[in-house]
């Protein structure tokens, strides 16, 4: 930390008395005007009317699970009973055509957090801060345009209490101003009385690692039963995914192992795959149970009919040839939205939706106009786009230590895939995935020459430059139609759309990752650092600025007894300095390192 005294500051203390009085009046006028403008922009009614009071705005609860294909009853698979998700679907709207922008979590979560395609901001390579010894690249983060803010920060600016429990993983470090709280304790119950909230609850049981041996749930105690209770003492909460597990015999069983499973044709139909399918469905049932605990908390608080509830997965399924690929099995994930008073209950919305649409929609249903930089479009709320989406887009690049370059575009029926490394096979020997028993089984059968033609496709030594699939008649995307003359019209349409999309978002698939880093860092060889905040005090007011364009500015108050606030407040305009207190100040642009913390005190 750097400590600065009041007498150090620049021009404010050189102004004569007359100029200081004039400046004070200007600041007060701007402050009042800004407050009025912000009030009109940020509030909304149940349809986002600009005249509604802050306390009357609807709350928003996100229930986010991981690695989630359409393996639940409300999306056509009745293998496992999910009473809580089924209730949400019965009382809400089912969205079967939501697609992630990548088949893996961190790039997809960057799209959700920013409303921008990962390949447009440098977030498309999975694990940019690790595998540096393998890649020979420095650790780096995605660098969106300077005006970019996480959607949660935009909601905080407009009066919402925003919490995340507890996974982040955005391909960049979240600024301190992004959340009121992001931790195992984060919960709407910690907000001010009557304050509208946006709360994210992440559920980890359905993650790919839930199929690793030995089987068992990731945590004996689940945080969702204790979130919000800061007096609760966690046991082994931050243990690794693979090691903090119960023995298989202690695993809660939600499904008989004798159940008949519908094994996808790209996987072997044998005991190993059936056992993994059993665990997959068992994990979903456990997730549903945990989700029920959160929904009960919402009902106990009397907030069910004052809250929009959104359930979705962070991309498609966890199995081999699902996660990390841009077939529908890796991109398509269920979404259910329950509106207050069961509005539109039991209906289905068939529109094509992309993860880049989630952030602008969240703002729209809160009565906030989405910023122009967002590449997605609101599909609900005051700022809902009038035209429906015709296409969804996706990309696959580096995963851990292995690189590929694939782009995809899909309309309601057909998907076009362009492979920029056709001489390289689809299958990548990713060690993390090879902990799944079915993956080990696929590799064993491959070595023994026992895979059938559908299972062998993934292991081809090369791949076609272009692929086209009829996702309606061929949902597993095994029959490539690209060379068939009767589909030339579809090929031309989707090729053209892909070129338009790549150009519009500035995605150059031929750019190497090393060249990408140079571009993100404006030609520098080290990650940029956010400039130290500039602080000016005058007539009892404090003004904060930063030389780094687009930096978020945050501050904390320190009271008499050196008691520091838990929350970084967002600086929006000059504010009156509290008497006899210190103030901690920080600046952070997404993708840059945060500034040093500066201490201001009278």
Q: Active-site residues: which are they?
A: 105
Rounded distance, CA 226 to CA 64, Å?
A: 17
3-state secondary structure 466-488: EEEEECCCCCCCCCCCCCCHHHH
Rounded distance, CA 364 to CA 372, Å?
A: 13
For residues 580-600, one letter each, b for 16 or more C-beta atoms within 10 angstroms of the residue's C-beta and e for the rest, the string is eebbbbbbbbbbbebbebbeb
- Helix, strand, coil share (%) of the chain residues, nearest 5: 30, 20, 50
- Parallel, antiparallel, or unpaired for β 197-203 and 161-165? parallel
Rounded distance, CA 382 to CA 49, Å?
A: 8
For residues 373-404, one letter each, b for 16 or more C-beta atoms within 10 angstroms of the residue's C-beta and e for the rest, the string is ebbbbbbbbbbebeeebebbbbbbbbbbbbbb
Is the distance from CB of 583 to CB of 551 less than 8 angstroms?
no
Rounded distance, CA 313 to CA 345, Å?
A: 21
Helices and strands per DSSP (H, E), number in the chain: 13, 22
Backbone angles phi, psi at 321, to 5 degrees: 65, 20
Residue 446 in tokens: 């491959």
CB neighbourhood size of 354 (10 A): 25
Could you please report the per-residue DSSP string of 51-113? T--GGGSPEEEEEEESS--S-SGGGT--SS--HHHHHHHHHSEEETTEE-SSSSHHHHHHHHH
What residues form DSSP beta bridges with 544? 535
DSSP-derived 3-state class of residue 213:
coil
DSSP-derived 3-state class of residue 541:
strand
Residues 6+ apart with CB under 8 A from 155: 162, 198, 362, 363, 366, 368
Residue 375 in tokens: 């590449």
Rounded distance, CA 530 to CA 541, Å?
A: 24
> For 339-432, where are the E strands, in sequence order?
347-348, 353-354, 392-399, 402-410, 414-419
Quote the radius of gyration of the chain (alpha carbons, Å): 25
**Angle, CA 164 vertex, CA 148 and CA 189 arms, to 5°:** 130
- Alpha-carbon torsion (294, 331, 81, 251), positive or negative: negative
What residues form DSSP beta bridges with 569? 555
* Of 12, 58, 153, nearest in space to 343 by CA: 58
* Of 211, 265, 106, nearest in space to 434 by CA: 211
* Of 114, 115, 201, 191, nearest in space to 160 by CA: 191
């Amino acid at each position: 930390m750097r400590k600065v005294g009041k007498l150090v500051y620049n021009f404010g203390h050189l102004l004569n008395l007359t100029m200081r009085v004039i400046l004070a009046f200007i600041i007060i006028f701007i402050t009042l005007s800004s407050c009025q403008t912000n009030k009109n922009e940020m509030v909304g009614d149940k349809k986002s009317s600009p005249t509604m009071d802050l306390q009357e705005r609807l709350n928003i609860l996100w229930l986010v699970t991981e690695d989630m294909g359409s393996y639940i009853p409300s999306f056509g698979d009745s293998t496992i009973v999910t009473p809580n998700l089924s209730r949400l679907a019965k009382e809400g709207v089912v969205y079967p055509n939501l697609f992630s922008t990548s088949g893996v979590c961190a790039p997809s979560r960057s799209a959700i957090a920013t409303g921008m395609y990962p390949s447009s901001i440098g977030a498309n390579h999975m694990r940019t801060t690790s595998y540096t010894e393998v890649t020979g690249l420095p650790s780096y983060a995605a660098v969106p345009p300077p005006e970019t803010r996480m959607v949660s920060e935009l909601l905080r600016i407009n009066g919402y209490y925003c919490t995340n429990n507890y996974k982040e993983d955005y391909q960049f470090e979240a600024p301190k101003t992004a959340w009121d709280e992001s931790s195992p304790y984060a919960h709407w119950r910690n907000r001010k009385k009557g304050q509208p909230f946006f709360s994210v609850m992440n559920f980890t049981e359905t993650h790919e690692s839930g199929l690793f041996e030995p089987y068992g749930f990731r945590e004996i105690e689940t945080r969702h039963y204790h979130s919000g209770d800061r007096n609760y003492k966690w046991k082994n909460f931050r243990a690794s995914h693979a090691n903090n597990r119960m023995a298989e015999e202690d695993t809660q069983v939600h499904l008989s192992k004798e159940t008949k499973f519908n094994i996808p044709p790209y996987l072997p139909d044998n005991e190993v795959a059936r056992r993994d399918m059993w665990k997959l469905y068992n994990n979903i049932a456990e997730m549903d149970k945990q989700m029920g605990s959160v929904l009960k908390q919402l009902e106990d608080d009397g907030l069910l009919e004052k809250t929009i509830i959104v359930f979705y997965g962070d991309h498609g399924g966890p199995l081999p040839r699902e996660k990390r690929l841009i077939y529908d099995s890796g991109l398509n994930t269920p979404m259910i939205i329950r509106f207050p008073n069961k509005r539109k209950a039991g209906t289905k919305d068939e529109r094509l939706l992309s993860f880049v649409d989630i952030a602008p929609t969240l703002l729209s249903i809160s009565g906030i106009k989405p910023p122009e930089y967002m590449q997605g479009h609101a599909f609900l709320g005051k700022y809902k786009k009038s035209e429906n989406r015709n296409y969804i887009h996706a990309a696959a690049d580096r995963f851990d230590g292995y690189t590929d370059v694939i782009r995809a575009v899909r309309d309601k029926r057909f998907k076009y895939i362009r492979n920029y490394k056709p001489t390289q096979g689809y299958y990548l020997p990713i060690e993390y995935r090879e902990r799944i028993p079915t993956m080990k089984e696929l590799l064993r059968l491959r070595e023994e020459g026992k895979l059938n033609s559908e299972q062998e496709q993934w292991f081809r030594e090369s791949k076609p430059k272009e692929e086209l699939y009829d996702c309606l008649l061929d949902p597993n995307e095994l029959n490539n139609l690209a060379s068939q003359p009767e589909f030339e019209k579809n090929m031309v349409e989707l090729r053209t759309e892909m070129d338009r999309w790549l150009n519009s978002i500035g995605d150059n698939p031929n750019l190497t990752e090393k060249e990408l880093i140079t571009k993100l860092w404006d030609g520098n060889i080290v990650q940029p650092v956010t400039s130290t905040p500039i602080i000016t005090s005058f007539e009892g007011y404090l003004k904060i600025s930063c030389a780094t364009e687009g930096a978020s500015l945050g501050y904390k108050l320190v009271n008499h007894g050196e008691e520091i606030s838990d929350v970084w407040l967002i600086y929006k305009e000059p504010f009156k300095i509290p008497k006899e207190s210190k103030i901690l100040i920080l600046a952070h642009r997404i993708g840059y390192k945060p500034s040093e913390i500066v201490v201001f005190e009278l």
